[in-house]
Amino acid sequence: MSNSLARLQSVWQSAPFAFAFVGAGIIFAVTLAANQGSGAGQIVSAALAFGSFYALVGIGQMFVITSGPGNIDLSVPANIALSGAVAMKVMAGSDAMIAVGVLAALGCGTAIGTANYALISVLRIPPIIATLSSSFVVQSLAIVYGRGLRISPPPLLADIATNRVAGLPILSILVIALAAVMAIVLHRSVYGRFLTAIGQNMNAANLAGIQVGLVRYATYVLCALFAALCGVMLAAFSGGASLNMGEEYLLASIAVVVIGGTSVAGGFSNVSGVWGAALFLYLLVTMMNTFGVGSGLRQILTGLIIVAVITLAGGKRGARD
């Protein structure tokens, strides 16, 4: 048993992103078999569409987790709800106001990320408590601002969120391109290298002259911006903003990071793995729906998968894209 676990850990360490893609492929095959081979195209298209939202929040959360142990953003769901409501209200269904609405949502994200880091840095509150506390404030603002809000998204934005090109969702194409850019930022830019160094050893990074506080602040803002963008696109996809549209993305934003091969100890990350894990999570839900599994059991199973992945990771120090 121990030898088998050791071999699995060795495979994980050499290609941490492979688990998510292989797992997604297996689950897709099982689901297809349960459906007697029908609906393959629809399943793949839906996985890419819904996986885009998992990937958006996951990439932002990945940057925070990369910054070191204990760093996490639990304000993501509330951020999604508030940013989506703000964007829809500012746009007011007009194509001409799309850019202004997106900027307003990103402004919300910037404010939330700034507040989160202020609680962490100035008041010395642990990140998990700081971001959880801020989420209550942000959610309250979303309730006050968005209660009774019934504004449809602008037609152009709705088309981007829901339409397809050559069978592929436009949104997924854009998010894949964004993920590629963020992989370059993470592994080729000065900021990305500084962030990785901080995650590996914050004290050493500080002694090396890296502005640790500034990099960490930028990281929390970046995570909040991704959550805000997810809120905008989720509202456009679903026909309008709702107060509970971000609920499922708390666990999902963490799960796609861990399952995708990013080290929970910080300092090592994997952007491509986030996309693989996003597909894995959606296909897992699709498979369980096919077999009539309830939502409670789905949450339990997702939690068990995260525990199993962390166990497989063991002492892993990550891999690069």
For the segment 235-263, what is each residue's pLDDT rounded down to a tens digit?
999 999 888 899 889 888 998 998 888 88
Summarize pLDDT for 136-160 with one digit per residue, the tens: 999 999 998 877 778 899 999 999 9
Does residue 272 carry a pLDDT above 90? Answer: no
Report the C-alpha gap between 321 and 319 in whole angstroms: 7
Side-chain half-sphere exposure of 113, counting CA atoms within 13 A: 27
Give the per-residue pLDDT at 312: 67
Region 188-202: what's the mean pLDDT?
94
Q: Which residue has the higher pLDDT, 107 or 303?
A: 107
State the CATH architecture for 15-313: Orthogonal Bundle (1.10)
pLDDT in tens, 116-130: 999 999 999 999 999
What is the structure's pLDDT at 320?
A: 42
Burial letters 281-312, b for 16+ CB under 10 A, else e: bbbbbbbbeeeeeeeeebeeebeebbeebeeb
* CA trace torsion 107, 113, 119, 122 (10° rounding): -80
Q: Are 165 and 147 in contact (CB under 8 A)?
A: no
Percentage with pLDDT > 90 across the chain: 58
Query: 100 or 9, which is more confident?
Result: 100
Average pLDDT of the chain to the nearest whole number: 87
- pLDDT(43) > 70: yes
Please, where are the H alpha helices in the chain?
Answer: 2-14, 18-34, 40-66, 76-91, 98-121, 127-146, 155-162, 170-188, 190-200, 202-207, 212-238, 249-259, 271-290, 295-313
Question: What's residue 23's pLDDT?
Answer: 82
Q: Residue 154 carries which DSSP code?
A: P
Q: Where are the domains of the chain?
A: 15-313
pLDDT over 70 at 264, yes or no:
yes
Residue 8 pLDDT class (50, 70, 90 cuts): low
Q: What does the pLDDT read at residue 317?
A: 45
